[in-house]
Amino acid sequence: MLNNLSASSMIPLVAITGFLDGIHPCAIAILIFFVAFLLTMQKKVKNIFFLGVVYIFVIFLTYLGIGVGFFSGVMLFGRHHFFAELGSWLLIIMGVMQLKEYFLPQLPFHLKMPTIPGGKVKGLLEKATLPSIIAAAFLVGLCSVPCSGGIYAAITALLASQTTFFGGFLYLLLYNFMFVMPLLILLVFAANPLTLAKIAGFREKNERLGKLIMGLLMLAIGLSILIFFI
């Protein structure tokens, strides 16, 4: 049986998992590349922020659309318990894969943006035009799902089992706002060339450690949903 969750427990769960979902290498790495490229072109700071906000907003809309589509499918298909449990196990599996990236990185099956879309995104960002940035952000939003979409799937399925469509949509808005929050924070700090270099260096130096932490968090969230919420 699914436990009925109150807003006091659901809101922190959705907000925290949304923020954790946003701390993944795909979108952050591309945003660092994007801001660095604009700085090399000597774009004005206000232009960097404008294009960066457009980029992040399109990712927000794309990821929200994916969530609403999955949420609607679960609501329509029924069997909420099955999908909530399936999403939790998917999250656990992706957590194990993240741990594999830390302990056994030489093994195949990596959670990362596919090579071809990744190259396409960089090519679009290099044009630094509004249409190309919108297209790049849309691709990043789509390709974020293989990187860390297990968290999103688990939470969306749980929402479908606990809320109405309108209530679930509001929770998805919160989730996706928290999802892009790391990008907004990064955009503020990355507009300075020295800060950008430090952020990029820190990310590269601690990339493996980040995978270990993310893997442990995915396992913890997945197991917690199975034990306490389903």
Going from N- to C-terminal start, the domains of the chain cover 19-229
- What lies within 8 Å, CB to CB, of 12 at 6+ separation is none
Measured distance CA(185)–CA(28) in Å, rounded: 11
Which residues fall within 8 angstroms of residue 17, CB to CB, at 6 or more apart? 151, 154, 155, 175, 221
Taking the model in full, what pTM does it have?
Answer: 0.86
pLDDT band at residue 201 under the 50/70/90 scheme: confident
**Each residue of 202-222: pLDDT tens digit?**
877 888 888 888 889 889 988
- Which one is predicted more confidently, 116 or 46? 46
Residue keyed to tokens 């990339």:
207
Q: Measured in whole angstroms, how far is the alpha carbon of residue 35 from the centre of its chain?
A: 19
Alpha helix stretches (DSSP H) within 80-206: 80-103, 115-127, 130-162, 165-190, 193-205
Model confidence over 126-148: pLDDT tens digits?
888 899 999 988 988 888 777 76
The answer to whether residue 2 scores a pLDDT higher than 50 is no
Half-sphere exposure of 24 (CA within 13 A, CB side): 32
Which residues fall within 8 angstroms of residue 20, CB to CB, at 6 or more apart? 151, 214, 217, 221
DSSP label of 191:
T
**Spatial CA neighbour of 155 closest among 8, 12, 57:** 12
Residue-level pLDDT at 134: 93
Measure CA 182 to chain center.
Answer: 10
Q: Rounded to the nearest 5°, which phi and psi values hold at 54?
A: -60, -45
pLDDT for 128 equals 83
Which of 22-36, 78-92, 168-182 has the weakest average pLDDT?
22-36
User: Could you tell me if 98 and 215 are in contact, meaning their C-beta atoms sit under 8 angstroms apart?
Assistant: yes
Summarize pLDDT for 25-37 with one digit per residue, the tens. 667 777 777 887 8
- The residue ranking higher by pLDDT, 94 or 196, is 94
Of 23-27, 174-178, 192-196, which gets the smallest average pLDDT? 23-27
Return d(Cα 109, Cα 91) in angstroms, integer: 16
Distance CA 52, CA 48 (A): 6
